[in-house]
Amino acid sequence: MATLSLKDVRKSYGSVQVLHGIDIELEDGGFLVLLGPSGCGKSTLLNIIAGLDETSSGDIVIGGRSVSNLPPKDRNIAMVFQSYALYPTMSVERNIGFGLEMRGTSVDRRREAVARAADMLQVTHLLDRKPANLSGGQRQRVAMGRAIVRDPDLFLFDEPLSNLDAKLRVEMRTEIKRLHERLGTSIVYVTHDQIEAMTLATKVAVMKGGYIQQLADPRTIYERPANMFVAGFIGSPAMNFLRGRLGRGKSGWQFMAKDICLNLGRSKEKLEEQEVILGVRPEEFKVVHHDIAAAFHGKIDVVEPTGPDTMLTSLIGGQSVIARVGPRFAGRYGDDVSFTVDPTSVNLFDPQTKLRITW
């Protein structure tokens, strides 16, 4: 168990810079998720933490010890790969114990440690098998067993669930969370799946183009995204972006656009009247039947019931908006519809800088 700090980590391949000064602090026992679209540099960063790739500059400190110049085996980390990377010719038992074997742990202690790890992951009955004879989920468990058996300072997970089918993915996600709670070891976890990020992380680093867009706890990331990229990347369906104008009204600031007039209330911040983009999560829209109270007026375009919710696409003043409404919503194409929104739940973005406007 240890803290992890990355200090101004940079990486370039030739003239192409893929990481631009990454700074991350992870508390002991924390769960850091590196989240971003493919090519954002998250896997490179993970490889750099593992020591499988070298930094161009910057420092990596695990548990107070700078490991930048150490080979992977001396960093006391364990890694779980997307492809599981189980040694095909070895039994499950030897696979799990291989790291210990390489470190010269005695056979008895090794067997004991493997048994404990296998028990924790419920793969004891598989110990004699070869990886080829395991299902995807079983392989995933073995790969995790191989990581936990060594009791490392830090676990590194490289998209560990993306090769599993949807049902198993949910199951293993829970398993990983349980494991983290039981072992309390710090984890760095790479994924492009925002649900995994939201459910597992204590801290999420949203990355794009080799930069960290936002580093915060999942709730902040979701509710107060630092910029439009983060806002749009997290959440499904994505946050609605509505163009309009920020202006002064009778009872404080107002967001105004065609068929929209949203009272935002007073703000402690110094704001100016300007063009803005209003960001509203689909679930924040409430359908109202009294026109007067509503802030948004539009026509229904598409109604998509999903079971627990209904996704409602409406056209409001020419802008398309998706709202997540109750399952029993009864409207149809072409009907008029009105919404209200809790003004504290919305975000404002600067159309030029794409950054969130604090208010």
Partner 1 sequence: MRRVSMTSNSRRHPFSSLGEISETRYWVYLLLLPSLLLLFLVVAYPTIYGFVISVREMRLTRPGLNGWVGMKHYISMMSDRVFWISLKNTAIWVAAAVMIEMTLGFIAAVALNRNLPGTRLFGVLILLPYFLPNVVAGHMWALLLDPRLGVINDILVRLGFLSSYKAWFADPNTALAATILVEAWHGFPFFALLFLAGLKGIPEDLYKAAAVDGAGSFTKFKLITVPMLKTVITAAVILRVISLVNSPDLLLVLTGGGPGNSTQVLSLYAFQTAYRDFNFGYAGALSVVMFFILMVFATIYIRLSRITKE
14 contributes a contact to partner 1 by CB under 8 A: no
Nearer to partner 1, 83 or 320 (CB): 83
Of 23-31, 68-76, 192-200, 299-307, which part binds partner 1 (CB under 8 A)? Answer: 68-76
- Kindly state whether residue 71 participates in binding partner 1, applying the rule CB under 8 A: yes
Contact 146, 78 (CB under 8 A): yes
Q: Are 298 and 259 in contact (CB under 8 A)?
A: yes
Long-range contacts of 161-167 (CB under 8 A, 24+ apart): 161/191, 161/193, 161/196, 162/82, 162/191, 162/192, 162/193, 163/82, 163/83, 163/84, 163/136, 164/136, 164/137, 164/140, 165/136
Q: Which is nearer to partner 1, 95 or 254 (CB)?
A: 95
Question: Two tokens at 206?
Answer: 């949203």
In the bound state with partner 1, the residue whose beta carbon lies nearer, of 91 and 220, is: 91
For the bound state, the minimum distance from the C-beta of residue 143 to partner 1, rounded and expressed in Å, comes to 8
Under rule CB under 8 A, residue 78 binds partner 1:
yes
The count of residues interacting with partner 1 (CB under 8 A) is: 25
Closer to partner 1 by CB, 132 or 292: give it: 132
Q: Residue 324 has which token pair?
A: 């997540």
Q: Which stretch binds partner 1 (CB under 8 A): 66-74, 230-238, 304-312, 318-326?
A: 66-74
Of 30, 51, 218, 279, the one binding partner 1 (CB under 8 A) is: 51
- Burial of 322-337, coded b for 16+ CB within 10 Å and e otherwise, reads bbbbeeebebeeeeeb
Nearest CB to partner 1, comparing residues 48 and 264: 48
Among 43-51, 62-70, 120-128, 195-203, the segment contacting partner 1 (CB under 8 A):
43-51
Show the 3-state SS of 132-171. Answer: HHCCHHHHHHHHHHHHHCCCCCEEEEECCCCCCCHHHHHH
Q: Between residues 42 and 208, which has the closer beta carbon with respect to partner 1?
A: 42
Task: Print the binding letters for residues 85-104 with partner 1: x by CB under 8 A, - otherwise.
Answer: xxxxxx-------xx--xx-
**H/E run at residue 256:** strand 252-257
Does 258 help bind partner 1 (rule: CB under 8 A)?
A: no
| Site track for partner 1 across 145-184, x = CB under 8 A | -x--------------------------------------
**CA distances (Å), 336 to each of 104, 237, 297, 310, 314, in order?**
73, 22, 7, 17, 9
Beta-sheet pairing, 296-305 with 336-340? antiparallel
Interface ranges with partner 1 (CB under 8 A): 47, 50-52, 71-73, 77-79, 81-90, 98-99, 102-103, 146
